[in-house]
Amino acid sequence: MNNLTIVTYHYVRDLKNSRFPEIKGLDLDLFREQILYLRKHYHIITMEEVIHSIDNQAKIPKKSVLLTFDDAHSDHYVNVFPVLDKYQLQGSFFPPSKAVTEHTVLDVNKIHFILASAQNKSDIVSDIKNLLKVYKKEYQLQDFDYYHKKLARDYGYDTAEVIFIKRLLQVELREELRIKIIDTLFEKYVGMSESSFSRELYMNEEQLMHMLRSGQHIGNHGYNHYWWNSLTKEELGEELDLSLAFLDKIGVDMKNWTACYPYGSYDDQSIEMLQERGCKLAVTTKVDIATTNESTRFVMPRLDTNEIPKGRHQETNEWYSRG
């Protein structure tokens, strides 16, 4: 059995000099240090090596690590790509196609920047409370206290207040209402048009193509970044086909395409439809060490960057021992 540590990244930027210093991301200097730590203690391998290992039951080096980057943030081109290129390393990047091609902003990213823009998170909670009152009759909503009691829990690196906001606006409410509330809060706290913000936040097609030509791996992260386990077969089919057409357009090797489940959301139908379309592997948001086995090809867990030491001279931790 081949163990494989897969690390996932989102925002990577010079946080203290950013317009949004409160965004939950990895500071660029710490990213550089983490890469040096990984080079010291692991073998950083490519997606193609992982695919070959699964397809042929071939060994990979001990303490292998794969680097993955979700959502195609411009950070990845401006900040991450030069570091990887310097050390001749490969990252696997998963763009949500619609955000790149139609200049929209993912709801999850809107929520991140709403949270990063508000000086006091309780102000957002108060706004949500008022908006739930406004829409209560139209959408047959419960009282605010019902949702707060149900959803507000400390989890991971987030407070109960932040988890309440995220879960309410990502999952709990009907999509139509979620969009209305998110857009209202985005306009208030961020104050930019969606198109302008999208062009600032995400890579464009030319940048993705440049990275691809330079040896980086580009995979599938859906078209609309929907929860795949909530879609009908027809809806998921359209979602996959649109995103695959985008990958084909920018020059991805369609015999070796991979996927990253939006929100980590998948079910048996998702896996079956990936298999039908020739997907080689898919990564999840489950936190664990992966293995390059046929049985785990479409359910490969990852570690968040925060699970890995961020200094070249730091000691290894439990994840190193398990990997």
pLDDT of residue 112: 96
Q: Which residue has the higher pLDDT, 217 or 171?
A: 217
Q: Do residues 308 and 211 both lie within one domain?
A: yes
Q: 28 and 91 in one domain?
A: yes
Residue 45 structural domain: 3-95+203-322
pLDDT in the model for residue 70: 98
| 78: in domain | yes
Average pLDDT over residues 166-186: 95
pLDDT tens digits, 257-309: 999 999 999 999 999 999 999 999 999 999 999 999 999 999 999 999 999 99
46 and 190, same domain (yes or no): no
Assign 31 a pLDDT band (cuts: 50, 70, 90).
very high
Of 138, 169, 196, the one marking the end of a domain is 196
**pLDDT the model gives residue 158:** 86
Q: Assess if residue 101 is contained within a domain.
A: no
For residues 52-65, b (16+ Cβ closer than 10 Å) or e, as one string? bbbeeeeebeebbb
Residues 207 and 318 in one domain: yes
Same domain flag for 219 and 305 = yes
More confident residue, 119 or 4: 4
Q: CA dist 291 to 51, 151, 250, Å?
A: 12, 33, 30
Locate all alpha helices (DSSP H) within the chain, ordered by sequence. Answer: 28-41, 47-56, 74-75, 81-86, 97-101, 107-117, 121-139, 144-151, 160-167, 175-189, 194-201, 205-213, 233-250, 268-276, 318-322
pLDDT for residue 156 is more than 90: no
Q: Does 211 lie in the same domain as 304?
A: yes
- Per-residue pLDDT tens over the stretch 40-75: 999 999 999 999 999 999 999 999 999 999 999 999
By three-state DSSP, how is residue 204 classified? coil
Q: Are residues 179 and 146 in the same domain?
A: yes
Looking at the structure, tell me whether residues 217 and 173 fall in a common domain.
no
Same domain, 266 and 302: yes
Supply the pTM of this predicted model.
0.94
- Of 168, 196, 224, the residue at which a domain comes to its end is 196
Give the residue from 150, 170, 196 where a domain finishes. Answer: 196
Residue 187 and residue 87 share a domain: no
> What total of structural domains would you count in the chain?
2
Q: Are residues 217 and 81 in the same domain?
A: yes
91/117 same-domain check: no
- The answer to whether position 100 is within a domain reads no
Predicted confidence band at 154 (pLDDT cuts at 50, 70, 90)? Answer: confident
Mean pLDDT of the chain: 96
Under DSSP, the state recorded for 241 is: H
Instruction: Report the C-alpha gap between 209 and 61 in whole angstroms.
Output: 29
Residue 214 in any domain: the answer is yes
Decide: 11 and 27 in contact? Cβ < 8 Å: no
**Residue 102 within any structural domain of the chain:** no
Q: What pLDDT, on the 0 to 100 scale, is given for residue 290?
A: 98
Identify any residues that bridge with 69 across adjacent strands, giving them in sequence order: 9, 93
